[in-house]
Amino acid sequence: MKFLEYSFAKQIALTMDRIYQNGLTTTSGGNISVCDKHGNIFISPSGVDKGKLEEQDIMKISPNGQIIGKHKPSVEFPFHQHIYQVRSDIKAIVHAHPPGLVALSAARKNPMTHLIGAVKNLIPHTTFAPYALPGSKDLGENIANEFMKGFNVVLMENHGIVIGAKNLQEAFLIMEVLEHYVLTEIKALSVKSQFTQFPEFHYKPYALKHYEEKSVISKDIMDEFIYLVKRAYRLKLISGYYGVFSLRVSEHAFLITPHQMDLNDIDINDLVLVNNGKVPYGKYPDQAWTMHADIYDKNKDINALIQTASIHSMVYTITTNSFDTRIIPEGYIMLKEIRKCLPESYLDIIDISKQRPVTLVQNNFVLVAGKTLFQAFDRLEVLEFGANSLLMASQYEHIFQINDDEIKLIDNSFNAW
């Protein structure tokens, strides 16, 4: 069952669990609501453990003010109500205290979302609501005033974040991708990096051609594919909004994740089989499919690709810093020399190979290749761990690399492909 097919109360309980399990709020912080077509507002309760919230805990407030449920509504219900009153297009609100966004709320700084093209497209503008007492009428008015101006993402001074959207899944995904980006920005600031600002990468224009889906792909292959997507999500190597996985299944056919679907909500039926440049009727591959197809056509050694914006690795795409893989043997064995490409250098980007299995596209994304999807996953994990370690090591006076003689010995002893 897909997320949006659940009752509103169930959606709120599931989203709160997802927020809590992903470390985006605390037991006592944050609240979620949905407004139905009749004007009823479903909202998380006050004083109930966020880690154990269930469908029956969700409160309902009718348009005439009747409160239905076994708890008290969140004390911050007033600002939810204010937003719904001034923005009829908003049907779901998420308020939480993600650490990175709380840091910005304390520093009174808007995130520099323009540094990553996909983030800027999703969240072109953010703003601040002036501080007021939690649960107060003033706070509700302060936040609603910003939503009245057309903002959908509002940082609250010394408090947290409020996001409004057409449904709860979209509101959560916006918050998650923004928090991931903000952590990247903060990591970059911590090592006093110089930011770069290259243009957004544009995929080749295409007109989808379709075929009647008859090809049968092993269920084991598709199950493993979904397992690795979900595992990458749990490890924050991807977000629900952004991440592309693909796997070659024959010379001219590959599986790829679908276009604009929550990657934590997909199953094997959502995967798209691109076959000779055509896709099944009724299915839509991620817009990156043309680039993946070009890579598979160019390099027969590559059977799997993962494209993402993982938190630590992305520091090296939005700054002038270079990523030196020679800090531990595993890093060099798995990653070799990492290339940084400009977004307009398409031929360089698709020149990823077993000799150069990782490409950083500046201000856009990370791309890793493998001969299997598991190997590509392993490589991405090593990349992200290495980026994190390198950023932490940067706090010290000097970083020592494995020397050239030892690198030659590694080259002669290991083949990570």
Q: Which residue is catalytic, options 5, 54, 55, 76?
A: 76
Which residues fall within 8 angstroms of residue 385, CB to CB, at 6 or more apart?
A: none
Q: How far apart are CA 287 and CA 262, in angstroms?
A: 15
Q: Are 304 and 246 a contacting pair, CB within 8 Å?
A: yes
- Give burial (CB, 10 Å; 0-12/13-18/19+) of 273: buried
Q: Are 95 and 121 a contacting pair, CB within 8 Å?
A: no
The DSSP code for 201 is P
Residues in a beta bridge with 274: 254
Spatial CA neighbour of 131 closest among 113, 103, 108, 151: 108
Torsion (CA) 263, 269, 270, 276 in degrees, nearest 10: 130
Nearest 5 degrees, angle CA 35-CA 37-CA 42?
A: 25
Active site residue 5: no
Q: What are phi and psi of 280, to 5 degrees?
A: -65, 150
Residue type, 11: Q
Q: How many CA atoms lie within 13 A of 323 on its CB side?
A: 33
Q: How many CA atoms lie within 13 A of 169 on its CB side?
A: 16
Residues in a beta bridge with 154: 127, 162
Q: Catalytic residue positions?
A: 76
